Amino acid sequence: MKRQDIRNVAIIAHVDHGKTTLVDQMLKQSGTFRSNEFVEERVMDSNDLERERGITILSKNTSVMYGDVKINIIDTPGHADFGGEVERIMKMVDGVLLLVDAKEGPMPQTRFVLQKALKEGLKPIVVVNKIDRTDARVEEVIDEVLDLFIALEADDDQLDFAAVYASAKDGLAKLNQEDEATDLRPLFEEILKQIPCPEGDSEAGLQLLISNIDYDKYIGRIGIGKIIRGTVKKNQMAVLASTKGQNLNVKISNLYSFQGLGRRDIEAATVGEIVAISGIADINIGDTICSVDDVEAVPFVKIDEPTISMNFLVNDSPFAGKEGSFVTSRHLKDRLDREMLSNVAMKLEEISSDCFKVMGRGELHLSILIETMRREGYEFAVSRPEVILKKTEDGLMEPFETLFVEVPEENVSAVIEKLGQRKAEMLDMAPTGTGIVKLQFRIPARGLIGYRSEFLTDTKGYGVFHHLFDGYDNYRGDIRVRARGSLVAFETGTAVAYGLYNAQERGIMFIGPGTEVYEGMVVGESARLEDIAVNVCKRKQLTNVRASGSDDALKLVPPRIFSLEQSLEFIADDELVEVTPKNIRIRKKILDKTTRERAQRK
């Protein structure tokens, strides 16, 4: 049975190449919204973090109607750290729209997402986006895309891809550059023509592969997936074929289909449809819902392993419990367990009752989780990110990344020098003729931890870099990433101008007057290699002797305020970041100065 009335397609691309903007226009031009309805830009980026950062973090489902055909669309992230979001939706679709910027051409993440799509045998349509740019180079970009397909060993059918030229911002697309275009109709027509319609036996036993998990506080876990074969009905008894090898008898309480940005209740659905089901408490990504009399699990896509880990600890600072709603180890474990249900590229390991090791794809992957939990009212501490090492017959192995860098010509030597200190090997160097040089390196993943802010400083904010996981290789030895120590608070109290004025001679301060501090809290960066204890709470002694000018206002240097990512980049191995809904603080693991010095001597 072929479902000519359905097309399932994912939109994949490098970060900032216009995926979410294109989905916005497809929704608007398909009549999903009323003519007088106000619609925000990037409507698919629905959570606060996505809107603030201008990036897509989670893959999301939507659908549009074009004539009599329902097009199910999945918007995916472009960042390498969220590659798991791209991998897990590959079984839900029959084709992909590969977006490529008309100026930048194929970028590192373009290679990653396309490789995953080709491996699954999906049919691609190449969309050259941003053709309205004055510096667009459309013909060269198409040639570069073809070279990329050949390099990734695409089959003959995939190599014969259709090309569409579009401006997602202006909501127009065309099949030839000379054509006049006013809307996205040519793109919709190509989707119907090029993307295979789903097919399967609607009379056979049910197979519904779960590729995504949503959560609702009223109805619990919601499984989202594509019907491979058979028909699913509301209140149907079924068998959950778990990825853990167990088969459980379950009941499908509710059944939903996607309509625009929302879900609607339906009674039944058949082959090719993407649906959501609720009522199954133990449902996980990769599970298959089967008929009671025909249990056959569908193999799931292999998800790449995590490469970075951090320890999440119960907050034990003197300020613990003052600012957060969820502060206990049980709260922390329950929240992390819930994250593991939907975040397939992340893994959790319990170190102790108060410490949990969370493994992910990169610093951004983990920092997004930390920031999300912080906004939900959680209070906890996290350690410095570490790479995940492997012991093999060949010795100790560590993860490596391919690093793609674009920097102004005058900053090239500084970047090469810094990366050399981080054990990077330069693979390629290519001037572009526009004052920008493209560099390519192979670098241990731990060499990138804490490098982004240093890189932006060295390139005065003009540099850009992207990285992709390259595999494991022999351990390259120690990498020294921090050349300075910390200024550590000597006592608990409130920071005052006099104490800060004396302390700022020792380094760069992170706090201003009126900040509550405790012993062992990091309040600045030392000008020396070693840590220095400072008393920022020290007040000026009052005497009856007055010298000329002694009452002049003390001049304080404005403090350096760190974001969460900058804090994670800064901390040393013996430090933690204390995260609460109101504050982000850096602290020593051992707060007491004497105990800390004794531990360092040992």
Annotated binding site for GTP: 16-21, 129-132
In 332-463, beta strands by DSSP E: 347-352, 355-360, 380-383, 386-387, 390-392, 395-408, 425-431, 436-444
| Residue 514 Cα distances to 302, 487, 493, 495, angstroms | 52, 17, 9, 5
Residue type for position 470: D
Task: Give the rounded distance of the alpha carbon of 520 from its chain centre.
Answer: 32
Q: In whole angstroms, what is the distance from residue 5 CA to residue 268 CA?
A: 16
Question: Judging by DSSP bridges, how do beta strands 386-387 and 308-314 pair with one another?
Answer: antiparallel
DSSP symbols for 514-574: T-EE-TTEEEEEESSSS-EEE-TTPPPPP-S---TTTTSPP-PPPP----HHHHHHH--TT
Task: List binding-site positions.
Answer: 16-21, 129-132
- Share in percent of the chain as helix, strand, coil (round to 5): 25, 35, 40
What DSSP line would sit under 157-195, residue for residue? HHHS-EEEEEETTTTEEESSTTS--SSSHHHHHHHHHHS
Contact assessment for residue 255 and residue 267, using Cβ atoms and an 8 Å cutoff: yes
How far, in Å, are 403, 405, 452, 460 from residue 463 at the CA level?
13, 7, 10, 7
Q: How far apart are CA 331 and CA 358, in angstroms?
A: 15
Neighbours of 359 (CB within 10 A): 19
The contacts of residue 475 (CB under 8 Å, 6+ apart) are: 389, 395, 396, 397, 398
User: What gap in Å lies between CA 506 and CA 351, rounded to an integer?
Assistant: 37
User: Going by DSSP bridges, is the β-strand pair 95-101/123-129 parallel, antiparallel, or unpaired?
Assistant: parallel
Structural tokens at position 582: 């109101």
List all residues 6 or more positions away from 115 whose beta carbon is below 8 Å from its beta carbon: 152
Q: What angle do CA 194, 182, 165 make, to 5 degrees?
A: 45
